[in-house]
Structures are given as structure tokens and as C-alpha cells.
Amino acid sequence: MHPTKSECSMFSGIIADVGIIEHAKDRDGGLDLSIATHALGMEDVQLGDSIAVNGVCLTVVKIDGNRFSVNVSRETLNCTVGLEVQGVRVNLEKALRLADRLGGHLVSGHVDGVGEVVEFTDLEESWKLSVRVPQSLAKYIAVKGSITINGVSLTVNQVESDVFSVNLVPYTLEVTTLNELRAGDKVNVEIDLIARYVERIMQARGE
């Protein structure tokens, strides 16, 4: 019997390791994934714990040394990218504990939509990454606000209609898979939770 997923897991968007999807097997329209990690630290991970894989909160159903397995539903596959390709590298982060430092921002691991890279430019001291998102998400993205791309917590530097830009420092590129992105690539995007709450408060006032 598979462990039940916790619905309240939270993350920080600070990537702990880059793993590899070693196996991806079809299962009832979804996938069974086996992921290898080197630096994530599996000694304190138990069955039923949550791990963010490329920004997607998934439940651990099996542990084998430095490998862990997760199930991905068809619903999750329909609203995310990067989980169905065997051999692909993925950003990994374990769920936050109450005593952990919040180095990024509060991330739920529930992807809001898929964006498309429109620009990835070397600015010498940093890189500029521009992503186009669905219009339904664009309204939640603000300059100096937080955004999550493939599980990485970033600060928005520019917004023009449905395209936002962030600056990536060399360290971020070294410890995540964002350095592999190219124009046209699809990415998982999660907006800042605060934006959702603000919208709900405004709706309640209107009602």
C-alpha cells in the first residue's frame, strides 16, 4: 500500500541537488519514476515524505540508497513539463521542516502553469532569462516579486505583458539545471502564494 501524500508540504525554492530520472514507466496514464541523487541526503527521508522535482511536489513511495521512487498522476503530467523524459536532469528539494531557514520564498510545489523561454542572454556578470506565461498567470507577476521556475526561487526584474525576466547569477546556474535552458524550452512556473491571497482578499471585499 502506497503512503498517503501530505497536502501541507512547503518548500523554499533553494535547490539541494540535481538528480537524474533513471527510469520512467507508464502506469494507468501516469508515470512511476525512479530518481537518482547524490547530495540531497536521503538518510532522513521516509516513505510518504514530499520532494519537489523540478518544482513539482511528489510523494516518496520507495527508497533504495541514493535513489527514490515517486508516482506521477496524469493530472500532474497534463499541467507540468520535464517529468516524462528518462535520463533528464531535475532540480530536487526536500520539504521544509519548522526549524529550516527560509532562504528563498514559500513554495507549495503545485505548478500553476507552463511557461516558454523566449530569451536566455549572457550579460557577462549574470544571465537574463525571459519567460512567456499564459495570460491567466501574467496578472500575478510583479517586479521585485518572487517566482519559481523549475523549482528555483527567483526575483522578477522586469514584466512586459505576458513576459517576465529574471537575472541568474553564476552560482544559481552551477547548482541547478537552469543553465541548460534555451529559447523555446518549456518550464514549470509557480507564482508567489502572496499574490493568490491578495486576489482572494480583493474578491472578498468586492463581495
pLDDT(2) > 70: no
Q: What is the pLDDT of residues 161-204, one digit of tens each?
A: 999 999 999 999 999 999 999 999 999 999 998 887 787 788 88
pLDDT(103) > 90: no
Percent of the chain topping pLDDT 90: 81
pLDDT(6) > 70: no
End-to-end CA, the chain? 45
pLDDT(35) > 90: yes
pLDDT(20) > 70: yes
Burial track 173-189 (b if 16+ CB lie within 10 A, e otherwise): bebbbbeebeeebebbb
Percent of the chain topping pLDDT 70: 95
What domains lie within the chain, and their CATH numbers? 17-94 (2.40.30.20), 113-206 (2.40.30.20)
Residue 141 near residue 191 (C-beta atoms within 8 A): yes
Tell me, rounded to whole angstroms, the distance of Cα 179 from its chain centroid.
15
CA angle 156, 178, 193 (to 5 degrees): 40
pLDDT(100) > 80: no
Lowest average pLDDT, out of 17-21, 34-38, 141-145, 190-194, goes to 190-194
